[in-house]
A = this chain, B = another copy of it.
Amino acid sequence: MSELQELVDGVYRDLKSHIGEGKVADYIPELAKVDPKQFGIAVATLDGSFHIAGDADAPFSIQSISKVFTLTLALGMAGDTLWTRVGREPSGTAFNSIVQLEYEKGRPRNPFINAGAIAVADMILAGHQPREAIGEIVHFVRFVSGDDSIAIDHEVAKSETGTGYRNFALANFMRSFGRLNHPVEHVLGVYFHHCALAMSCRQLARAGLYLAAGGRNPVLDSRVVSRERARRINALMLMCGHYDASGDFAYRVGLPGKSGVGGGILAVAPGKASIAVWSPGLNEYGNSLVGTAALELLAQRTGWSVFGT
């Protein structure tokens, strides 16, 4: 057994007793039903090997982690003109805050807060029907992960559509400033569906490899983005990937990462590995409690922090 596998097993073992801690997201009814007693880790290294532990093959709702993929896709479509519509700064506020939008006239601070991801969804809609845009996203995620079995959980998408008032508020607010080019219902249709993608830790770690490997997925041997763009997406993940707890994540873990309210986190160790963890219980900031702890231990023990060994 490899050293890294032992290390992954050790992290799993050390946190096992904490499985189930934290609070499962309950504002999306369908997510509230998930069994909190699950915990998976998957580490994909650049040579294409996987090191997993726990529930690494159980699919879960990736939620906001999907914003990494839609950002990548939209950058591919729109290039750097994307930044005329969305900023690149931490917001200093919660993921669903609307205050900053009012002060900055409907322009979201970054593509990872909800408002920013809604603007990105609007860009992906350009020239498409909602169904097609959703298809593009699914296609892209299957491509980067090299796995055609990945699909949207329509029950989750439906559940969010029916209760996502805050997102309807954000989208309408941006629309009132002329910041969306498509009907709010279409934009949110795309947004809710890509958030409802179901993936396992293994699939997610594989999908994130292009960010660890300078823009190429080494397993699939295909280029996804340029080296420079991979670096920049990593920078955005580090700065903004955990909303108003991004500083804490950088401090404790030291890796670019993106969390989802379903309890998953995708983290990137540039030049080394793509890591996915999952456990549904959330901490006070809405990030996986056990998942964050796992990444902290893993980064410590591997010395993969981007801030020094």
Partner of A308, one of B98, B172, B245, B270: B270
Partner of A270, one of B92, B175, B256, B306: B306
Give chain B residues whose Cβ lies under 8 Å from the Cβ of A100: 92
Which residues of chain A (281-308) have a CB below 8 Å from chain B? 305-308
Q: How far is the CA of A263 from the CA of B266 in the complex (A)?
A: 37
In this assembly, does A169 line the interface, its C-beta being within 8 Å of a C-beta of chain B? yes
Evaluate whether A246 and B92 lie within 8 angstroms (CB atoms) in the complex, with A176-B166, A306-B270, A307-B235 already known: no
In this assembly, does A145 line the interface, its C-beta being within 8 Å of a C-beta of chain B? no
In this assembly, does A279 line the interface, its C-beta being within 8 Å of a C-beta of chain B? no
Give chain B residues whose Cβ lies under 8 Å from the Cβ of A256: 307
Q: How many residues of A contact B (CB 8 A)?
A: 56
In this assembly, does A238 line the interface, its C-beta being within 8 Å of a C-beta of chain B? yes
Contact with B along A216-248 (1 / 0, CB 8 A): 000000000001001110111011100011111
Instruction: Tell which of A37-45, A61-69, A83-91 binds the partner.
Output: A83-91
Question: A270–B231 contact, CB under 8 A?
Answer: no
Q: Which of A109, A172, A212 has the most CB of B within 10 A?
A: A172
In this assembly, does A184 line the interface, its C-beta being within 8 Å of a C-beta of chain B? yes
Q: How far is the CA of A163 from the CA of B240 in the complex (A)?
A: 32
CB distance from A100 to the nearest CB of B (A): 7
In this assembly, does A168 line the interface, its C-beta being within 8 Å of a C-beta of chain B? yes
- Quick one: closest B residue to A308, CB to CB? B270
In this assembly, does A52 line the interface, its C-beta being within 8 Å of a C-beta of chain B? no
- Quick one: closest B residue to A240, CB to CB? B247
Question: A98–B240 contact, CB under 8 A?
Answer: no
In this assembly, does A260 line the interface, its C-beta being within 8 Å of a C-beta of chain B? no
In this assembly, does A1 line the interface, its C-beta being within 8 Å of a C-beta of chain B? no
In this assembly, does A102 line the interface, its C-beta being within 8 Å of a C-beta of chain B? yes
Q: List 15 A-B contacts (CB under 8 A).
A: A88-B251, A90-B90, A99-B102, A165-B172, A165-B173, A168-B169, A168-B184, A172-B172, A211-B308, A230-B307, A232-B307, A235-B251, A235-B254, A240-B247, A270-B306
What 8 pairs across the A-B complex have the smallest Cβ distances?
Answer: A92-B92, A270-B308, A89-B247, A165-B176, A90-B90, A169-B173, A306-B306, A234-B307
